[in-house]
Amino acid sequence: MKIKANKINAEYSFYGIPVSPGIAIGKAFVLEGVHVKISRKNIQQDEVEAEIEKFHDAIATVKKQLATDLVSTKRRIGKSNAQIFETHQLILDDPMLLEDTVRSIRLDLRSAAFAFYSILERYQSQLALTDQEYFRERAVDLRDIRRRVVRCIQGDKTDFLRSLKGSAIIVAHDLAPSDTIALDRHKISGFATDVGGRTSHSAILARSFRVPACSGLRYLTKYIKSDDRIILDGNDGTVLINPDNATLEFYHKKREQLDKINLELTKIKNLPARTLDGKDIELAANIEFTDEAENVMAYGGRGIGLFRSDYLYIARNDLPSEEEQFIEYKKVVEKLNPHPVIIRTLDVGGDKDPQNIHIESESNPFLGYRAIRISLQEPEIFLPQLKAILRASAFGHVKLLFPMISSMSELFDTKKLLEQAKDELREEKKAFNSKIDIGAMIEVPAAALITDKISEEVDFISIGTNDLVQYMLAVDRGNERVAYLYNDLHPAVLRMIKNIISAAHQKGTWVGMCGEMAGNPLATLILIGLSIDELSVSPMLLPEIKKIIRATDFKEAAKIAEKALTFSTVAEVEKFIQRYMQRKFKDLIF
């Protein structure tokens, strides 16, 4: 069903990239950039006492915030993720730090912000110079706490979120995955960012928070203020600032209609994802957090096609232990049992910058030290993870997935470490499934071209289109300037996917897809037609994809895929599929 827009009237209208469906209507909260600006001008003698008071007030406020964060983070994502706040509290209790700052305000006539900033900078550079990992990690803590206290002294409203009673639409220039997971998802009704694309990890997190989101809005933060009324349409990428009443009314109605469609869609949640002519497609979900496992069945998924274990590592200063990881994986596996759970080993680097793993600054992080490359070079990080996943395999149906494989030798090295992890568990007499299925993500073009060889070494293949598309088309997945070039319906991408599936099937290897293309309704028919075995999508997209599968005839889908592969441009592919879908699925929106 097409919902036609009336005349849209708003103070400002922005059109960006729709990254998470749904409509949010509410007040904006603009998150300031992460970099603080500090005036280095000296203060006057008669301002000294006021500055000292400001400093003490800021320390007291930040301590209170840390205590709240500690409790709420423990509740939301577990004790281990909350440790960072305990460390920050300890830093603020250091009497020397407090005395040095007060002395600098008094004697050097520095503002509270400048004094605190410079002293922490000094401590931080001393720590960063040591070769001991522990102290280098503390340097990162100092940077975080410095930013927080300085923001508080300057009256930055970032901490508004803590006192927020209702929910807000978060507007930011950029949101790193670590910034995003620090937000309380219950207080957020939408995200809008100047930068970013559909498959950047913050966009993926918005979908896992199940809130509407738009990215790539370019200059939005220049025009919007906190408390502006805003409409965010995550279906088409529109953001309207201070709309008139008629526009508001239109969007309220549109939201009601979408709610009805979604309610209707969830009615099929318990029906199989089977085509009209009886072909079963495994329909699974991608999750980022343990507690999302609940949503998978509720939205009609039968298994987890991608558990991004990365978020167990992000936003904390130490590494999660084997035991901690085991507990988290086991929770998910038991919840889903007997359905399969594909746990992907650590995939950080790229746009996911962990504080606890040292990654030197790189000019091309997506081409650099990330994913399996880190795991292979740092077995002390990889082995505990492998052991934790293996142990979870004793409690249900677990499969192990390796990200960013780009050559056979990487795969062989990975398998060697897996054998070592198994041997260690045998020695420790810990139970695990020794026949656990292992899979390789195909997300690097080089790997795609040797899928036949890879398939001989693994039990399954999972196509990661988010990276595959960025590497094939040479388009940074998070860069809105070139987002118009990022399209999973590009004829080259379609050909590559066809080749991957047939190369794997020729070796009798199962092929799933966990990249965002699996949740693109315009791609569903083509993927079914190319004989994909599994589609793994964000839980909120499960009903729509299931509906398409159930209304599709496999033989017809095969013909559609064949035809789609004859086109030479994205526009032709899109036009062809759109026309077909609009005729066939009148009650869905494309």
Report which DSSP code applies to 217: -
Q: Binding of ligand PEP at residue 476 (CB under 6 A)?
A: no
What is d(CA 542, CA 540) in angstroms, rounded to the nearest whole number?
Answer: 6
Q: Minimum CB separation from ligand PEP for residue 467, in Å?
A: 4
Cβ atoms of residues 270 and 262 within 8 Å? no
Beta strands per DSSP E along 496-572:
510-513, 534-537
Binding Mg ion (rule: CB under 5 A), the pick from 194, 292, 443, 544 is 443
Residues 6+ apart with CB under 8 A from 387: 322, 326, 421, 424, 425, 430
Binding ligand PEP (rule: CB under 6 A), the pick from 292, 443, 488, 534 is 443
Cβ atoms of residues 446 and 407 within 8 Å? yes
Binding to ligand PEP in span 328-357, by CB under 6 A: 347
What value, to the nearest 5°, has the Cα angle with vertex 235 and ends 229 and 238? 40
88-103 b/e (C-beta count within 10 Å ≥ 16 → b): bbebbeeeebbebbbe
Scanning 209-217, 231-239, 279-287, 443-451 for contacts with Mg ion by CB under 5 A, the matching segment is: 443-451
Q: Minimum CB separation from ligand PEP for residue 536, in Å?
A: 8
Which of ligand PEP, Mg ion, none binds 351 (CB below 5-8 Å, type-dependent)? none
- What φ, ψ does residue 3 adopt, rounded to 5°? -100, 115
Residues recorded for the chain: 590
Q: Binding of ligand PEP at residue 515 (CB under 6 A)?
A: yes
Active site residue 514: yes
Nearest Cα neighbor of 205 from 298, 315, 301 is 315
Q: Minimum CB separation from ligand PEP for residue 415, in Å?
A: 21
Q: Binding of Mg ion at residue 467 (CB under 5 A)?
A: yes
Q: Minimum CB separation from ligand PEP for residue 347, in Å?
A: 5
Active site residue 186: no
Binding Mg ion (rule: CB under 5 A), the pick from 464, 519, 529, 543 is 464
Which of Mg ion, ligand PEP, none binds 514 (CB below 5-8 Å, type-dependent)? ligand PEP
Binding to ligand PEP in span 228-267, by CB under 6 A: none
- Helix segments in 93-226, DSSP class H: 95-108, 112-129, 133-153, 160-163, 177-182, 201-209, 220-223
- Whichever of 55 and 402 has its CB closer to Mg ion, that residue is 402
Taking CA atoms, 162 is separated from 76, 170, 251, in Å, by: 14, 13, 28
What is d(CA 137, CA 128) in angstroms, rounded to the nearest whole number?
Answer: 8
Q: Binding of ligand PEP at residue 464 (CB under 6 A)?
A: yes
Nearest Cα neighbor of 560 from 575, 547, 577, 545 is 577
**Catalytic residue chosen out of the listed positions 88, 152, 173, 201:** 201
Scanning 255-263, 462-470, 545-553, 581-589 for contacts with ligand PEP by CB under 6 A, the matching segment is: 462-470
What value, to the nearest 5°, has the Cα angle with vertex 431 and ends 425 and 433? 95
- Whichever of 349 and 521 has its CB closer to ligand PEP, that residue is 349
What is d(CA 439, CA 344) in angstroms, rounded to the nearest whole number?
Answer: 9
**Catalytic residue chosen out of the listed positions 152, 397, 505, 514:** 514
Q: Binding of ligand PEP at residue 200 (CB under 6 A)?
A: no
- Helix segments in 154-216, DSSP class H: 160-163, 177-182, 201-209
Q: Binding of ligand PEP at residue 467 (CB under 6 A)?
A: yes
Q: Minimum CB separation from ligand PEP for residue 351, in Å?
A: 9
Q: Binding of ligand PEP at residue 177 (CB under 6 A)?
A: no
# binding residues, ligand PEP (CB under 6 A): 10
Which of ligand PEP, Mg ion, none binds 308 (CB below 5-8 Å, type-dependent)? ligand PEP
- Whichever of 447 and 557 has its CB closer to Mg ion, that residue is 447
- Whichever of 25 and 497 has its CB closer to ligand PEP, that residue is 497
Which residues contact ligand PEP by CB under 6 A?
306, 308, 347, 443, 464-467, 514-515
